[in-house]
Structure 1
Amino acid sequence: MIQNAVKKLTEHKDLSYNEVVECMREIMEGRADDLAISDFLLALKMKGESVDELKAMFDVMNEFSIKIRPIVNGRLIDTCGTGGDKIKTFNISTASAFIASAAGVNVAKHGNRSMSGVCGSADALEYFGYNLNTEPEDVKRCIEELGIGFMFAPKFHPAMKNVANARKQLGVRTTFNILGPLSNPANVNAQIVGVSDPALIDKVVTLLQRIGREEAMVFHANDGLDELSNTCINQIAWLKNGTINKFVLNAKSFKIGIAEPADLSVMSKEESVEQTFRVLNGTANEKRTGAVLLNAAASLIVANKADSFEDAIELSKKAMHGGGAYKKLKALIKSCGDVSVLEGLEKRWQNS
């Protein structure tokens, strides 16, 4: 099937939903070799993925994933970016997830090691002492009891090991870089997603609508970030009540620190983790804090905790400056990791 699909794709013809499902099942079940997978992914990338094709791939990824269904009051959300931006920032979306949780949002954070940046969410949390091999039931318990949990993508998507070699050999971004952040194993009902390519905004928000998200924001910063940025204008598509609306957001409209791209960039994993730590414990500078507050605010809005960015930013500030965000991080590490690692970092960084 994959060979026929590749031929059709190279003729710039869209595949049907069922054709993609059949190809994806071959891949997820380990019946396709690396060359066939590479050809399929590259042909799909060159043609450009349709929403139907993305939906079919998402459905099969979901079918083969390990799922959890946390029982919570209110919405369950995720915060993530698709990666691929040129500015190697610290872990903005990870920090914003803990601030949102401290503000009363239920967060099922789904992430992986870095694919394009300096430090992915999994890299950062592992550095803090989190056990990436935490069992699904323990993640579910953390979400229910602490208001936040972390799902390491390879743990919850074991069938994705069948595409690892092909993706590595291709060395370019593929459809899986789009689908990964959307394939949350906890079936969140609201989400914020950053994209580094503005052409993806419409595709991603439409896909989120098709897969049943109640509310979502998909955004791209004009500085190239796959986050909301406090350096520039942000383009946003907002899915709410079944309708998608578009608008632009200027960070200068709010009472937060305004930055230049260089203010948000880091050179190493350790620097990224340290800056994430400092944002959460309230010792980061206003420029880095501003970027995180903007993204945390979007999380609060889609979680129905605030109606506007102004209100959501103020709630996020209270969660951060009151120590709640850092307490959430520490509680998560204590529950699913080695808290002595985080305490060692406290001693090192709080005295510097």
Structure 2
Amino acid sequence: MNIQNIITKVSSGTDLDFEESKFCMNEIMSGQLLPSQFGVIMASLAIKGETFEEIAGMAAVMREFSIKIKGKENAIDVCGTGGSGLKWLNISTASAIVLASYGIPVAKHGNRAASGNSGSADVLEELGIKISLEPKVVEKCLHEIDLTFIFAQTFHPSMKYAAPLRKEIGIRTIFNFLGPLTNPANVKKQIIGTPNKDYAKKIAQAGKKLELDRIITISGESGADEIEIDKNTYVFDSKENFSENIFESRKNLGSSRHLEVKSPKESAKKILSCFNMKSESSDEEKKAILNSISINAAMALHLAEENKSIDECFQIAKENIFNGNALKKLDQLKDFTNRS
């Protein structure tokens, strides 16, 4: 096997198998590819459509090249691929904090914004969290407070070879789908959101190939990488053999127009406002943000505790906001990261 064989195969529209995909990513992560070779492979994969075997194979090698931390039993990750273009506040980041406030360990893997107005790293900085930490500190944080942030730029140093080349070619590539599958804490359960319904199923299948115990991928009807509050959401669950299910929007959860933000600062302000709520509100913006964070936290809680229904989990998420637990967990994360 050599890289020319890979180029010949993908440029003719032929799929790579798992091992070929691993070989290709190993060459990329080792800095062995010429920019022209990288460009033709990425473009050819995008044109023909990436398969779950290709996603899984490349993600497996990205995992091998990452800096790892010791995970915590039953820890999960809640994240999205980004790329929706909807400019919403950081719903998965907020829902991860709510989830951890209930006692579910969360190893939140994330990065700065690529196409949106606020990435998870950006909003956490605005919330006072120190994101650039030594891996041992990140690990300790997970084990001591059941919540940690794994900053992708720190934990994936070999991306230095691919990052500038991705920027040069300027199109969506398979890398858009790989990040969520490469959590350095080796979580076994994940919720992953993606704006592309077709790729939601492929990412779920790739997660299973990578031996996740259970993975649920979601894709909103309007292209959100979150569960939507005013439209239906497509759900693919490895437990249900990746069949397409529709998560129907609940009545009176609010309008998604209230979720829009222009900056990480605005996103942080809206999350803090939500975490300071003591009860339901008639204010339409507060209502929409509360319900969006809570319904996304509910799906993750259902993943962690399968015996609980989504509706039960939805109420639990709200209760952990109203009783101050979510705000306390955020303060714990802030205190831990800034004293380390």
Q: TM-score, normalised by structure 1?
A: 0.90
- Contact kept, 8 Å, 1:87 with 1:261, in 2: the verdict is no
- 3-state SS of the aligned residue for 1:78? strand
Q: Do structure 1's residue 13 and structure 2's residue 14 form an aligned pair?
A: yes
Match of 1:252 among 250, 253, 274: 250
**Per-residue deviation, 1:4:** 3.1
Unaligned runs of 5+ in 2: 279-284
How far 1:338 sits from its partner (Å)? 6.8
Name 2:80's counterpart in structure 1: 81
Moved more, 149-158 or 231-240: 231-240
Cα separation, partners in 2 of 1:333 and 1:4, compared to 1, 3 Å? same
Q: Are 1:332 and 2:333 counterparts?
A: yes
- Deviations along 1:282-328, whole A, 9 cap, x unmatched? 27701111111110001101111652111001110111111111111
Alpha-carbon deviations, 1:49-99, whole Å to 9, x = none? 112211210111011011112334xx1100011111121100000000000
Query: Whole-Å Cα distance in 2 between the matches of residues 79 and 180 of structure 1?
Result: 12
2:52 alignment partner in structure 1: 51
With over 3 angstroms needed to count, the CA separation of the structure-2 counterparts of 1:158 and 1:123, relative to structure 1, is same
Give distance in 1, aligned partners of 2:184 and 2:296. Answer: 22
Q: Please report how far the alpha carbon of residue 262 of structure 1 lies from its aligned counterpart in structure 2 after TM superposition.
A: 1.5
Shift in CA distance, 159/265, structure 1 to aligned 2, threshold 3 Å: same
Does the 8 Å contact 2:69/2:184 carry over to 1? yes
CA distance in 2, matches of 1:130, 1:307: 31
Residues 138 and 338 of structure 1, relative CA distance in 2, 3 Å threshold: closer
| In 2: Cα distance, 1:132 partner to 1:35 partner | 34
Of residues 258, 267, 273 in structure 1, which corresponds to 2:268?
273
- Contact kept, 8 Å, 1:108 with 1:143, in 2: the verdict is yes
Contact 2:91 2:226 (C-alpha < 8 Å) held by counterparts = yes
SS of aligned partner of 1:285: helix
Please tell me whether the aligned partners of residues 35 and 166 of structure 1 are also in contact (alpha carbons under 8 angstroms). no
CA contact (8 A) 1:80 1:93 kept: yes
1:259-282, Cα deviation, whole Å (9 max, x unpaired)? 333221112222122112222232
| 3-state SS in 2 of match to 1:184 | coil
Question: In the aligned structure 2, how far is the partner of 1:61 from the partner of 1:293?
Answer: 32
Larger displacement relative to structure 2 (81-90 or 4-13): 4-13
The 1:306–1:92 alpha-carbon spacing in structure 2 relative to 1, beyond 3 Å, is farther
SS state at 1:252 partner: coil
Give the number of equivalent residue pairs: 333
Query: Do the aligned partners of 2:290 and 2:318 also contact (CA within 8 Å) in 1?
Result: no
Deviation at 1:28, TM superposition (A): 0.5
Whether the 8 Å contact between 1:131 and 1:338 is mirrored in structure 2 is no
Label 1:84 to 1:155 Cα distance change in 2 as closer, same or farther (>3 A): same
Distance 1:86 1:186 in 2: 28
Cα distance in structure 2, aligned partners of 1:20 and 1:335: 39
Select between 38-47 and 87-96 the one with higher mean Cα deviation: 38-47
Secondary structure at 2:236's aligned position in 1? strand
1:116 is matched with 115
Question: 1:297: which partner in 2?
Answer: 298
1:222-260 CA distances to partner (integer Å, 9 max, x unpaired)? 1211100101111111222x744442112325xxx5233
Structure 2: how far apart are the matches of 1:42 and 1:114? 22
Paired residue secondary structure (1:217) = strand
Q: Which stretch of the first structure deviates more once superposed, 327-336 or 260-269?
A: 260-269
Deviations 1:106-145 (A, max 9, x none): 1000000001110000011122222222111111111111
State the SS of the aligned residue for 1:108. strand
Overall identity of the aligned pairs, in %: 35
What residue number does 2:94 align with?
95
CA distance in 2, matches of 1:216, 1:9: 28
- Please show how residues 141-290 of structure 1 align to structure 2 within 5 Å: 141-240=140-239, 243-252=241-250, 258-282=253-277, 285-290=286-291
Name the counterpart of 2:282. none
Asked whether the equivalents of residues 55 and 203 of structure 2 are also in contact (C-alpha less than 8 Å), the reply is: no
* Partner Cα separation in structure 1 for residue 39 and residue 227 of structure 2: 32
AA matched with 2:293: V
Which residue of structure 1 lines up, in the alignment, with residue 317 of structure 2? 316
* Paired residues for 1:131-150 under 5 Å: 131-150=130-149
8 A Cα contact 2:117 2:262, kept in partner: yes
Find out whether 1:26 has 2:24 as its counterpart: no
TM-score by length of 2: 0.93
C-alpha RMSD of matched pairs (Å):
1.8
Matches of 2:57 and 2:34, distance apart in 1: 20
The answer to whether the Cα contact below 8 Å between 1:105 and 1:303 also exists between their aligned partners in 2 is: yes
Query: Which range moves more in the overlay, 109-118 or 171-180?
Result: 171-180
Of residues 277-286 and 160-169 in structure 1, the stretch that sits farther from structure 2 once superposed is 277-286
Return 5+ residue gaps in structure 1 as ranges.
Answer: 340-352
Runs of 4+ in 1 over 6 A off after TM superposition: none
